[in-house]
Amino acid sequence: MKLLVAVKRVVDYNVKVRVKSDKSGVETAGVKMSMNPFDEIAVEEAVRLKEKGVASEIIAVSIGIAQSQETIRTALAMGADRGVLVETDAAVEPLAVAKILKEVALREGVGAVILGKQAIDDDMNATGQMLAALLGWPQGTFASKVELAEGAATVTREVDGGLETVKLALPAVITTDLRLNEPRYASLPNIMKARKKEISTLQPADLNVDVTPRLTTISVSEPPARKSGVKVPDVATLVEKLRNEAKVI
Amino acid sequence: MPVLVVLDFDAEGIKQPSRSAIAAAAKLGEVHVLVAGSGVAGVAAAAAKLPGVTKVLVADDAAYAHHLAEPMASLIVSLAGNYSHILQAATASGKNVLPRAAALLDVQPISDISGVVDADTFIRPIYAGNALATVKSADAKKVITVRAASFDPVPAEGGAAAIEKVATAENEAKSSYLGEEISKSERPELTAARVIISGGRGMQNGENFAKLIDPIAEKLGAAVGASRAAVDAGYVPNDYQVGQTGKIVAPELYIAVGISGAIQHLAGMKDSKVIVAVNKDEDAPIFQVADYGLVGDLFNVLPELEKAL
């Protein structure tokens, strides 16, 4: 079975983002970019499925500017077999991303798509669900355990009260949660090997997808800062302040 | 056109985050709610009492028993024609179901809104809450999940809405429910608690949660939460996690113990009204958001705190 994994280039999770002074967005120039952490988990899961002999080939797809190739290379170094870059300079919203991924998934004839449950930049948590809808495939979101067999996937999902397990007919879409696995670091030999792996490039128009955004960002601002607090010397003072100053206990 | 809110509920009743979603929806128009499930007459009756709700739609069918995304999305789409906005709280269920429905409607959803500006314009946190984006939707219909912590819930009672049955929507059964492991707790739920006490990696193990945090939670009537580090380490189950990708909470009082304060954790709790941090590292970032910080060893502080309450 072929697997498609979607990988997004985002501001590295360790970077403290700054809002631009003109409020048009957050500063991304000169900022360290990395693969969305949830997508790393998706790549890792796909590679493990290939190592188990369940998957035959892993295709890593990214949508975005030319530099998104680097993100695909990271996936290739982790163990994906080849890459597809759908190149565009436009900001592509989850709906359009889902439409592009649908076309790629159908072209490649994959048995499942695995992707991160959310990107840590826009925090939308929508693409996988939308992709599943557009394909008419079932979805296993927020996965903490995945078992793929011929014809069906069993997915344990992180839900508000604990865990829920669902069975999905394949093909299906799976989105990854934090505890699905711990992604490997690519070894140097694998990074070298990844340079020789193929990345094909497409435009959204090649897939007949209109990426015109539906949302306009009016402004991006800093959240209101909390006023600075105080240090208290001991438990007695803390309890006294909570009782008499904050009046919360 | 009225606004539809999809309700979350369990055996205990309608979830508080759904009442927050109704508060958000009330800013947009007349509110109808959808109760979908199996054997949900009682929930529908409770929904009819929610203030501000004028109609309760009930889809009572085994297909909706576990709120699987596929049948739920089909049902929502079958009802969507009558509504300008479709909302659900950004619960695990809302996050699972609504984007699927949105795609079927060819709508770009607006996830996790923290504010309503007007019928087309909403505020939502991005980058783990380090920025707030104001976005305007050009879609004819809006599909929205609501950050419950940002809207005061409507009361549980006071209204008298009509109840109307709706037809089951067609759905090709490609998914099925196998089971669940739901954490059992006598304590309030994280997303509805007035007080939360959370532990981090500093707790060292799950036994220390039970020994040191639970008695304080008991005295304060608090919910118990955790940082991602504590969950990843297996001290407590995943549903304890507070943070960017866990639960977003804004209680009256949030007590963070042995939590350093990674951006991803702060994203889930920094809107709490009063924050207390206990950490032995006086430079821990958690102190930057704490109203009251206590530098000290939690193994001394927690037993003292329990005694003082």
Handedness of CA B226, B231, B236, B239 (dihedral sign): positive
CA–CA distance, A54 with A41 (Å, rounded to integer):
17
* Mean pLDDT within B94-104: 98
Is A144 close to B291, i.e. CB distance below 8 A?
Answer: no
Residue showing tokens 């900001």: A91
Whole-number pLDDT of residue B217: 98
Q: How far is CA B196 from CA A227, A242, B16, B201, B249, in A?
A: 20, 14, 16, 17, 9
Question: Is the model's pLDDT at A89 over the cut of 90?
Answer: yes
In 3D space, the residue among A125, A120, A96 whose CA is nearest the CA of residue B93 turns out to be: A125
**Strand (E) or helix (H) holding B18:** helix B16-25
CB contact B11 to A (< 8 Å): no
Query: Coil, strand, or helix at residue B255?
Result: strand
- Residue A156: pLDDT band (50, 70, 90) is very high
Considering CB atoms only, which of B92, B103, B264 is closest to A160? B92
CA–CA distance, B2 with A238 (Å, rounded to integer):
48
Considering CB atoms only, which of A136, A219, A235 is closest to B304? A235
CB burial of A116-142 (b: ≥16 within 10 Å; e: otherwise) equals bbbbbbbbbbbbbbbbbbbbebbbbbb
| Segments of chain A assigned E as strands | 2-6, 9-11, 33-35, 57-64, 82-87, 112-116, 139-149, 152-159, 162-169, 172-176, 199-202, 215-221, 230-231
Considering CB atoms only, which of B69, B179, B292 is closest to A241? B292
Is A139 close to B237, i.e. CB distance below 8 A?
Answer: no
**Type of residue found at B15:** K
CA–CA distance, A1 with A56 (Å, rounded to integer):
5
Partners of A38 on chain B (C-beta within 8 Å) are: 245
pTM for the full predicted model: 0.96
Query: pLDDT tens-digit profile of B178-218?
Result: 999 998 888 999 999 999 999 999 999 999 999 999 999 99
Round to the nearest angstrom and report the end-to-end CA distance of chain A. 57
CB pairs under 8 A between A and B: 257
Whole-number pLDDT of residue A210: 96
Query: Coil, strand, or helix at residue A9?
Result: strand
Scanning A104-143 for CB atoms below 8 A from B yields 117-118, 120-127, 129-134, 136-142
Question: Is the model's pLDDT at A226 over the cut of 90?
Answer: no
Q: Interface pTM (ipTM) of the complex?
A: 0.96
- For residue B19 the two structure tokens come to 């009442």
Query: pLDDT tens-digit profile of B226-254?
Result: 999 999 999 999 999 999 989 999 999 99
- Residue A149: pLDDT band (50, 70, 90) is confident
Q: Kindly state the percentage of chain A with pLDDT values over 70.
A: 100
Mapping DSSP onto H, E and C, the string for A124-193 reads: CCCHHHHHHHHHCCCEEEEEEEEEEECCEEEEEEEECCEEEEEEEECCEEEEECHHHCCCCCCCHHHHHH
CB contact A21 to B (< 8 Å): no
Q: How far is CA A78 from CA A8, A47, A53, A176, B89, in A?
A: 15, 8, 16, 17, 36
Q: Kindly state the percentage of chain B with pLDDT values over 70.
A: 100
Whole-number pLDDT of residue A228: 83
Scanning B18-77 for CB atoms below 8 A from A yields 66, 68-70, 73
Query: pLDDT tens-digit profile of A95-130?
Result: 999 999 999 999 999 999 999 999 999 999 999 999
Q: How many CB atoms lie within 10 A of CB A154?
A: 15
Whole-number pLDDT of residue B15: 96
φ/ψ bin of A142: left (φ > 0), alpha (ψ from -120 to 50), beta (otherwise): left
B90, burial (CB in 10 Å: exposed 0-12, middle 13-18, buried 19+): buried
CA B59 to chain centre: 23
Query: pLDDT tens-digit profile of B154-189?
Result: 999 999 999 999 999 998 889 999 999 998 888 999
Q: How many CB atoms lie within 10 A of CB A62?
A: 28
CB contact B121 to A (< 8 Å): yes
Is A235 close to B308, i.e. CB distance below 8 A?
Answer: yes
CB contact B228 to A (< 8 Å): yes
Phi, then psi, of B233 in degrees rounded to 5: -80, -5
The answer to whether B101 and B77 have CB atoms below 8 angstroms apart is yes
Question: Is the model's pLDDT at A225 over the cut of 90?
Answer: no
Whole-number pLDDT of residue B169: 95
Is B99 close to A11, i.e. CB distance below 8 A?
Answer: no
How many alpha carbons lie under 13 Å from residue A177 in its C-beta half-sphere? 29
Considering CB atoms only, which of A120, A133, A214 is closest to B128? A120
**Which residue of A144, A164, A173, A175 is the best one to mutate when testing the B interface, meaning the one whose CB has the most B CBs within 10 A?**
A164
Is A158 close to B238, i.e. CB distance below 8 A?
Answer: yes
Query: pLDDT tens-digit profile of B120-129?
Result: 999 999 999 9
CB contact B92 to A (< 8 Å): yes
CB contact A225 to B (< 8 Å): no
CA–CA distance, B77 with B83 (Å, rounded to integer):
10
In 3D space, the residue among A239, A187, A116 whose CA is nearest the CA of residue B294 turns out to be: A239
Query: pLDDT tens-digit profile of A54-71?
Result: 999 999 999 999 999 999
Whole-number pLDDT of residue B10: 93
In 3D space, the residue among A150, A115, A182 whose CA is nearest the CA of residue B228 turns out to be: A182
Q: How far is CA B88 from CA A18, A249, B15, B96, B127, in A?
A: 30, 32, 11, 11, 22
- Residue A227: pLDDT band (50, 70, 90) is confident
Round to the nearest angstrom and report the end-to-end CA distance of chain B. 51
How many alpha carbons lie under 13 Å from residue B297 in its C-beta half-sphere? 3
Instruction: Name the closest residue on chain A to residue B138, using Cα atoms.
Output: A214
| Segments of chain B assigned E as strands | 3-6, 9-10, 13-14, 31-37, 53-60, 85-89, 110-113, 115-116, 121-126, 131-137, 142-146, 162-165, 175-182, 195-199, 223-226, 253-257, 274-279, 292-295
Instruction: Name the closest residue on chain A to residue B270, using Cα atoms.
Output: A226
Question: Is the model's pLDDT at B90 over the cut of 90?
Answer: yes
The answer to whether B9 and B43 have CB atoms below 8 angstroms apart is yes
- Residue B284: pLDDT band (50, 70, 90) is very high
Question: Is the model's pLDDT at B93 over the cut of 90?
Answer: yes
CA–CA distance, A17 with A206 (Å, rounded to integer):
34
Per the document, the length of chain B is 309
Question: Is the model's pLDDT at A231 over the cut of 90?
Answer: yes
Is A161 close to B177, i.e. CB distance below 8 A?
Answer: no
CB contact B291 to A (< 8 Å): yes
B309, burial (CB in 10 Å: exposed 0-12, middle 13-18, buried 19+): middle
In 3D space, the residue among A173, A158, A156, A186 whose CA is nearest the CA of residue A78 turns out to be: A186
* Mean pLDDT within B31-49: 98
Is B99 close to A130, i.e. CB distance below 8 A?
Answer: yes
Question: Is the model's pLDDT at A150 over the cut of 90?
Answer: no
Whole-number pLDDT of residue B116: 98
CA–CA distance, A137 with A121 (Å, rounded to integer):
26
Query: pLDDT tens-digit profile of A8-59?
Result: 999 999 999 999 999 999 999 999 999 999 999 999 999 999 999 999 999 9
CB contact A11 to B (< 8 Å): yes
How many alpha carbons lie under 13 Å from residue B138 in its C-beta half-sphere? 8
